[in-house]
């Protein structure tokens, strides 16, 4: 999938999550070792993973036409205690309208070969 499509899908998901009352602190597309893109999302208010994934499932069901192939398994929730959040803060405020392309970045103990930073509040 091309990066422009990833950004558009990410924008749709973030807008839709916010419309459902799920604020997002940070969102980042990550190309993992098996060459698949995953969307990492850090919600503003985190109760537990189950609540987040239920809200995400609701959004994906409502917006299937805009998100196409995208499945809930393509998302990884970033919990508030994850050191990656502190690392993302160094990029400053980022919005989905002006995503930041990342290559060869270290985020805490995670080495990011390639990514697209969509949002940091």
Q: Say what the pLDDT of residue 90 is.
A: 93
* Residue-wise pLDDT tens digits, 37-87: 999 999 998 889 999 999 899 888 888 877 777 889 999 999 999 999 999
* Residue-wise pLDDT tens digits, 99-108: 999 999 999 8
- Residues 6 or more apart whose Cβ sits within 8 Å of residue 46: 52, 77, 79, 80
Locate 51 and state its tokens: 């609540």
Class of residue 82 by CB neighbours under 10 A (exposed 0-12, middle 13-18, buried 19+):
middle
Q: Say what the pLDDT of residue 65 is.
A: 79
Q: At CA 109, angle to CA 107 and CA 111, rounded to 5?
A: 60
């Amino acid at each position: 999938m091309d990066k422009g499509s990833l950004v558009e899908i990410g924008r749709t998901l973030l807008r839709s999550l916010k419309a459902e009352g799920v604020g997002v602190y940070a969102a980042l597309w990550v190309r993992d070792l098996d060459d698949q893109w995953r969307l990492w999302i850090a919600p503003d208010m985190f109760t537990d993973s189950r609540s987040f994934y239920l809200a995400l499932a609701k959004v994906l069901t409502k917006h299937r036409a805009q998100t196409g192939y995208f499945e809930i398994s393509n998302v990884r929730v970033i919990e508030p205690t994850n050191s990656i959040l502190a690392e993302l803060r160094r990029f400053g405020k980022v919005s989905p309208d002006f995503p930041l392309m990342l290559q060869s970045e270290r985020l805490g103990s995670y080495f990011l070969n390639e990514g697209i930073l969509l949002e940091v509040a």
